Amino acid sequence: MPPRLRSALSAVLIALSCLFVPFGTLAAWAAYGLADTGRYVTTMAPLAADPAVREAVVDTLGDGILRAVDEHLDISPVRGSVRPFVQDAVRSFTHTRAFRLAWDTGNQVTHDAVLNALRTDDDRAVTVDLAPVTAQVKRQLTRDHVPLAARIPVEHTAVAVLPADRLATLRKGFHVLEVAGFWLPVAAVALAAGGIALAVRRRRAVAATALGTALGGALLVLALHVGRGLTLADLPAGVSHPAAGAVYDALTGTLRSAAWLLLGLGLAVALTAWLTRYLRLPRPARRRRGSEAPGPAGAPGPSRARA
């Protein structure tokens, strides 16, 4: 193959490989990180101790309990006086081991329900039942002798996680991610290897591949930063921005680490390739064919002897 054609084909393969790096990393994170229930629960577990998340839970559960009380009990005149007790009880509950267990269990049940909806043809909305948490808060209010706490109804309150009208679109996207999460990284590695093997100057090809990988990592870091801002800006009214930000940071933590790893590793490999090119030791001069070292002083060399 002519050198120019080899160089052009190598450049195309390396460019495609560098293009696949950020998309492959994103797809692999979604397919093997977010889609794994065990990893998801482990990732979300520390948020049970996050102050912003706890306050969001206090507001959500407190409003839900008071709403249920208004619907079933005629205590509207004392709602304002009961509300602080309810919120204090919920806030106290969020500092207990029972809350951490309920948090992990709720995340596991929610994740299983979402995955089941994405992998099957069930078009019903995905919901989570808050009755167990309400029952725990009711018991604590009763122990604290809060008025009318024993009459708080514990009902199976379904909280929507995924609306039914979005399931079809999310299901298609999820299937695409499952396929891309495996094949995009494999394609990126194969294209990079092929491009370097075809290159006329392989050290330069390695440096170009490394720089492209670093650029892909940098773009991924920037995309995560921009995505965080867009996600928080698009939140519905009443949703806590600090809590949503904490959840976003927890979910994307692995992806962010992978992006920084790509950036750092790519720059390190590119720098190493540059240093080995410009700081390599000089090679010893080659001897001419037929030339030999002169013999001892006064003795003719082999060529002279033959002459």
Q: What is the pLDDT of residues 23-73, one digit of tens each?
A: 999 999 988 888 888 889 999 999 989 999 888 888 877 777 777 666 665
C-alpha distance across the termini of the chain, in Å: 47
Query: The whole model's pTM is what?
Result: 0.73
Evaluate if residue 145 carries a pLDDT over 80.
no
Interval 7-36 mean pLDDT: 90
Confidence of residue 98 (pLDDT cuts 50, 70, 90): confident
H or E element, residue 158: strand 158-162
Q: Which helix (H) or strand (E) is 126 found in, with range?
A: strand 126-129
| pLDDT tens-digit readout, 158-182 | 666 777 777 778 888 888 888 898 8
CB 126 within 8 A of CB 117: yes
Residue 303 has pLDDT above 80, yes or no: no
User: In the chain, what is the greatest distance between 2 CA atoms, to the nearest angstrom?
Assistant: 126
